[in-house]
Amino acid sequence: MSRRLADTPALTPPAADPATQVVLAFDDNRLASALFGEYGQNLALIERRLGVVADSRGNHVTVEGSRDACEQARHVLEGLYEQLERGHDLTQGDVEGAIRLAIAQGSLFDYDPTTARPNFEEIHLRKRLVRARTPAQDAYIRALRRHALVFGAGPAGTGKTWLAVAHAVALFERKEVDRIILSRPAVEAGERLGFLPGDMREKVDPYLRPIYDALFDLMDARIVERALQAGEIEIAPLAFMRGRTLANAAIILDEAQNTTSMQMKMFLTRLGENARMIVNGDPSQVDLPAGQTSGLTEALRLLAGVDGIGRVMFTEADVIRHELVSRIVSAYDRASFARKREPGA
């Protein structure tokens, strides 16, 4: 539980926008320490993103800045503290998500307390709890639970693959499916993997590393290795899906923007009884040869409005990564826009 101890105007020059000072006290010193972050890194992130100054002493934190910014910082800190009280771990992504949500609420006078801390969907796993951090992630989890086939489209870093794997692991742990099948088009090798050394898993590992990372993050490593050996978790390039009917399985196709039209049709028609299929990709990052239509782009267009299919579109606003990544992406976007505006471009 947190308590606001003070909310007083700070002394500022007459021409400046009046500043406010808010002092918050948190009942549990251990949780307060986790809230502020190691060496105060969570507070530092709040300072940079909201334009406030935050100073912590013990279980107290003093926030100074504009009235709206202080209110946003207060709601961020109180919301994150409640998360810690419920026994959830706190990551930098959680802090960034809370900040974005507070900013989306608008100014202090537009603030709606009934939606300030939405009850985002959660995925309960044996190893950890996974919680949506943005409205799009929340909609994605809801779609995964409601539909047998779900498309997730949008930029890298929005959590599509991680949440898809988390949902598949949850289904597997609850024995709602017998196996997890993970696939990805191996564009760089043209899906002709025979010349590569090693067995099938060693051949396709480089193309499926992000999925492996998610698996080992969400499941105990020994269970993952045992399931791989038993075939309960199957890793296969997209070409090896042809001719199969996949039943009682959670099936994930990652990097689907690099499928051709025929590959996408082939993959979608593998859906068998009691199977769940998740198709993820970024339509703006197609690596196919020039002139070739992305199977993901075509499927999103052809299957729009088809009953029983979920579709969630992520945007740059849903990217949850290190704040420097956002700045880097923005810098490249500005440069690209400037080049397009140059004469003769």
Q: Report pLDDT digits (tens) over 77-121.
A: 998 898 888 887 888 778 887 887 787 765 444 444 444 445 678
For 135, the enclosing helix (H) or strand (E) is helix 135-146
Q: What pLDDT sits at residue 24?
A: 92
Q: pLDDT tens across 144-169, in order?
A: 999 999 999 998 888 899 999 999 99
Comparing CA positions, the residue from 340, 154, 186, 323 lying closest to residue 260 is 186
Between CA 46 and CA 100 the distance in angstroms is 10
- The pLDDT of residue 163 is 94
Q: Report the CATH architecture of 122-314.
A: 3-Layer(aba) Sandwich (3.40)
Listed by start position, the domains of the chain span: 2-110, 122-314
Q: How confident is the model at residue 235 (pLDDT cuts 50, 70, 90)?
A: confident
Return the higher-pLDDT residue of 57 and 243: 57
Token digits for 65?
A: 């800045």
pLDDT at residue 142 in the model: 94
Q: How confident is the model over 226-241, as a mean pLDDT?
A: 87
- What kind of fold does domain 2-110 have according to CATH? Ribosomal Protein S8; Chain: A, domain 1 (3.30.1370)
Closest of 260, 274, 253 to residue 152, by C-alpha: 253
Evaluate if residue 132 carries a pLDDT over 90. Answer: no
| pLDDT value of position 114 | 43
Distance CA 103, CA 111 (A): 10
Q: Do 6 and 22 meet the contact criterion of CB atoms below 8 Å apart?
A: yes
How far is CA 333 from its chain centroid? Answer: 21
The predicted pLDDT at position 79 comes to 87
